[in-house]
Copies of this chain bind each other. A is one copy, B any other.
Amino acid sequence: MTSTDEQAVLDANAAFYAAFAAADAEAMDALWARSTEPTCVHPGWDALRGRERVMASWRAIFQSGAPPIACAGPTVHALGTDAALVLCTEVIAGGTLVAANVFVREPDGFRLVHHQASPAPHRPTPARRADLN
């Protein structure tokens, strides 16, 4: 995987969090793979297998409005030449999550095939640390 590919994966990861934070179901749909059935594990949810279930989960989440979520410290880890994993921290209201996002190369760019977010160890988030200053 070239450095251009790695940047394309980071851009796709940033687009995922932009769609997530905007509760934009249409943009979210466009970011997920069509060449293979994706999977998703939301925090505290069962694993979701298949595009239909995964997209229904985003629509359900977005019904509550735009969530305050931001991605911090993403790192790219190549999985051969046509796939890559991004590991990052999700900064949400009240804490952080550890997330892995897996992308595969499709004709028009890298697309998500797996998202999994897990609760991270409890510690002050940057916003809360700022409050303490």
Interface residues of A (CB under 8 A from B): 36-37, 39, 41, 43-47, 49, 75, 77-83, 85, 87, 89, 98, 100, 102, 104-105, 113-114, 116-121
Q: Which residues of B contact A43 (CB under 8 A)?
A: 118-119
Q: How many copies does the complex hold?
A: 2
Contact A37 B116 (CB under 8 A): no
CA distance A85 to B47 in the complex (A): 13
Among B39, B78, B116, the residue within 8 A (CB) of A77 is B39
Is chain A's binding surface mostly helix, strand, loop or mixed? strand
Please judge, given known A-B contacts A49-B75, A79-B79, whether A41 and B100 are in contact too, CB under 8 Å: yes
Complex A-B: 30 CB contacts under 8 Å: A36-B77, A36-B78, A36-B79, A41-B98, A41-B118, A44-B118, A44-B119, A44-B121, A45-B98, A47-B87, A47-B89, A47-B98, A49-B75, A49-B77, A49-B87, A77-B113, A79-B79, A79-B82, A80-B80, A80-B82, A80-B83, A80-B105, A82-B82, A83-B83, A85-B113, A100-B100, A100-B114, A116-B118, A118-B118, A118-B119
